[in-house]
Chain A
Amino acid sequence: MTKLIYVAIMSAFVNNVVLGQMFGVNAVIRGSEKIGYALRLSLSVIVVTFLSSVVTWPVGEFLLNRFGLSFLQPMVFLIIEAVIVLVLVKLVKVKFPKRKQVYSQILPLIVINSAVLGVILMNVQVGYSFLRSTVNSVCGGLGFAAAVIILAGVRERIRFNDVPKPFEGVPILLVVSGLMAIAFYGFTGLV
Chain B
Amino acid sequence: MKKDTIFKRLYHGILIENPSVVLCLGLCPTLAVTTTAKNGLAMGIVTAAVLILSEFVISLLKRIIPKKDRMIVYVLIAACWTTIVQLVLNAYFPDISESLGIFVALTAVNGLIFGRADGYAIENNPFLSIFDGIGFGIGYTLIITILGAIREILGIGTIFGIRIIPDGYTLSIAALAPGAFFLLACLIAIANKIKGGRRV
Task: Check whether chain A touches chain B (CB < 8 angstroms).
Answer: yes
Residues of A within 8 A of B (CB): 19-26, 29, 71-75, 78-79, 82, 108, 111-114, 117-118, 121-122, 125, 164-175, 177-179, 181-182, 185
Given contacts A19-B177, A178-B181, contact A114 B109 (CB under 8 A): yes
Given B24, B28, B32, B181, which contacts A175 in the complex, CB threshold below 8 Å?
A: B181
Interface 1/0 per residue, B167-194 and A, CB below 8 Å = 0000001000111111011101110110
How distant is the Cα of A19 from the Cα of B176 in the complex, in angstroms? Answer: 10
How distant is the Cα of A50 from the Cα of B178 in the complex, in angstroms? Answer: 27
Residue total for B at the interface (Cβ-Cβ under 8 A) = 41
Q: Which residue of A lies closest to B114 (CB)?
A: A112
Interface 1/0 per residue, B57-80 and A, CB below 8 Å = 000000000000001100110011
Q: Is B108 an interface residue (CB 8 A)?
A: yes
Q: Tally the A-B contacts, defined by beta carbons under 8 Å.
A: 122
Q: Do A74 and B83 touch across chains, with their CB atoms under 8 A apart?
A: yes
- Residues of A with C-beta under 8 A to B181: 174-175, 177-178, 181
Nearest-CB distance from A61 to chain B (Å)? 17
Residues of B within 8 A of A (CB): 24-28, 31-32, 71-72, 75-76, 79-80, 82-83, 86-87, 102, 105-106, 108-111, 114, 173, 177-182, 184-186, 188-190, 192-193, 196
Main secondary structure of the interface of A (DSSP, over half): helix
